[in-house]
Amino acid sequence: MTFLKRRNTLLALGAIAAATFAGSALAQTVTLRLHQMLPQQATIPAKALIPWAQKVEADSGGKIKVQLFHAMSLGGAPPQLFDQARDGVVDLTWTVLGYTPGRFNKSEVFELPFMSGSAEESSRAFQEYVEKYAADEFREVKLIAVHTHGPGLFHTKTPVTGLESLRGMKVRGGSRVINNMLTKLGATPVGMPVPAVTDALSKGTIDGTTIPWEVTPALKVSELVKNHTTFAGKQGLYTQTFAFSMNRASYEKLPADLKAVIDKNSGIETAAMFGRAMDEGDKAGRAIAEKAGNNIVALDAAETQRWRRTAATVETDWINEMKGKNIDGAKLVSEARALIAKYQK
């Protein structure tokens, strides 16, 4: 073999080896598609999901790429998001559990009136609660984390200054438990996912909405209504619960080192990170309303107690309903409150 032929042969073998190595490297790179309902600038996408994706990519040495799809851009409706993760339509979803009523029965306890306050504290409590008492409700997915939002309140066109002023008002509720509470308080509940709130307020379909402060900027709520009603004490009127889930097959087919990256970015610290984002978002959302000169009604302890007494029947209803499903609702309420107290600063 001449020198020239030998050189060309070596070059060809080198090119094949390089191509094989590149193919092997590419085979180790995984792209996960994450789908969620809110615009990219909203609190959870901007302050939790995007940072989570960046951390997973960094922790994996670039082997995991997370492609984010915001505002239902891959199709479907918010109530379908959990099933999109379960069924492998996408790899990851973030959604509100209350959008699929009757499905996450044991998890609903955190939605009960005046149950929780700080989102970070409640999210830690909720994650531990789900792991201990409701893991079976998430058996069809690889659960990354669950969390709550901060203290729930009203945003209304006319001010809510007491129980009487709420009566007959059409108010958006985000779950069946919250809608039951609104009924007990004298409002007319209108169920809808949170992305529909802006249009419903604009068209007069609703007179107000129950959402935390953090999502008001993305939905332009402080521009559409000028009244906001808060409650005395650490607990908000209500909260909603959220799940960040991964398709189980997408997780199982990862090599061990990449599974470890997902595991490291799952669980209670991830739940707390999402909760912190909610708490910080609450401060920012309230500041926008204050800057706009909106009317922020702070109900005093005596008036808040009236709301507590009226809303307490929602808890009784839930416990009785769970009894019919062979679930000890009273025990779950007690356990949830104990966990919230454990993490309260």
Q: pLDDT of 181-204, one tens digit each?
A: 999 999 999 999 999 999 999 999
Contacts of 261 (CB under 8 A, 6+ apart): 56, 59, 60, 63, 64
Confidence category of residue 19, pLDDT binned at 50, 70, 90? very low
Within 10 angstroms of residue 131's Cβ, the number of other Cβ atoms is 15
**pLDDT of 237 above 60:** yes
Out of 5-14, 97-106, 152-161, least confident range = 5-14
Per-residue pLDDT, 209 = 98
In this predicted model, what pLDDT tens digit does every residue of 291-329 receive, in sequence order?
A: 999 999 999 999 999 999 999 999 999 999 999 999 999
The predicted-structure confidence for 199-215, as pLDDT tens digits, reads as follows 999 999 999 999 999 99
Name residue, tokens 């307020």.
Answer: 201
* CA 290 to the chain's CA centroid: 25
CA separation for the pair 92, 70 (Å, rounded): 12
Domains of the chain: 32-103+119-148+241-281 (3.40.190.170), 153-238+294-343 (3.40.190.170)
pLDDT of residue 345: 86
Q: Which of helix, strand or coil describes residue 282?
A: helix
